[in-house]
Copies of this chain bind each other. A is one copy, B any other.
């Protein structure tokens, strides 16, 4: 008799459905980016964007009462999904006073025996700061030493957008119990295609696969086939070009902001800076005043208490638009606040 699992897989193939975990060729390419993990294709799932990957990771790992240790400031979805899963969000500070750098001592102080998951985002949304290899190693050793046996979710969605000499490291190089989530939205400007992935520990990925089948079934086949191009020589070239473009925009935005008397963070990656608006009011008040002058920012407190007093400002727009935006911000700050 044929195994029942085989019945399921063969039925899917014969009926012309895409295998739920994604095109094998695409999963192989994703796995090839993490040679140090020696992944089988079963340890990679293609998701409907990295948002689904994040959802699957947290819903799979977090049980009622578990703590999820999240960067503050950090991406807004982490604490919310943690609570949906019945977990408790806890936070390690990336202190504004130190340009949102990683603070190993604070990180160690927040680790507890209940820490089930640690979220590591490098480069960071909202700050654009990256963790050095030494910091990643320090984080890994601190988790090992805590005895919590926590998993790390390494959110690497911005990892191909960097303005330093070399691509930022992945904590998966230092900590084996790492679940990586990422996708093509940022590195190849494919936001609307909803093409992400999740990879790592075989048992965790088996559970994620099961959940994935009930949440979305699979990522769109059109997007999956288009995604294969992201590992071509042409795409390597395109990513280099995208990095150069954002590097130029970053330098232009920082110079413009500082030229207008505003203080801001120098990001090593992603496409954001944090602008200090503490002397003008709360981040929500100032963000709303900016909106009235036609400049869209995100109030820093949306990313946690440590972001209060800052605005997240993106440099996705082209240089004339950035010039205009800074001029309007500057005028509004002088006029209204």
Contacts and interface: CB of A to CB of B under 8 A. Distances in A.
Contacts of A43: none
B18 A291 contact: no
A16 B191 contact: yes
B7 A192 contact: no
Interface in A1-50: 1-2, 4, 7, 10-11, 14-18, 48-49
A17 B222 contact: no
A140 B299 CA distance: 48
A55 B51 CA distance: 16
Nearest to A299: B7
A52 to B, nearest CB: 5
B84 A214 contact: yes
Interface residues of A, number: 46
A220 B217 contact: no
A51 B288 contact: no
Contacts of A51: 214-217
A233 interface: no
Given A11-B296, A222-B192, A216 B288 contact: no
A16 B192 CA distance: 9
Interface in A213-235: 214-223
A193 interface: yes
The main secondary structure of chain A at its interface with chain B is: helix
Interface in A77-99: 77, 80-81, 84
A134 interface: no
A314 interface: yes
A288 B49 CA distance: 36
Given A214-B81, A214-B84, A316-B15, A219 B194 contact: yes
A7 B214 contact: no
A277 interface: no
Nearest to A3: B288
B194 A220 contact: yes
Nearest to A284: B4
A139 interface: no
Contacts of A216: 48-49, 51-52, 55, 194, 215-216
Given A10-B296, A219-B194, A214 B1 contact: no
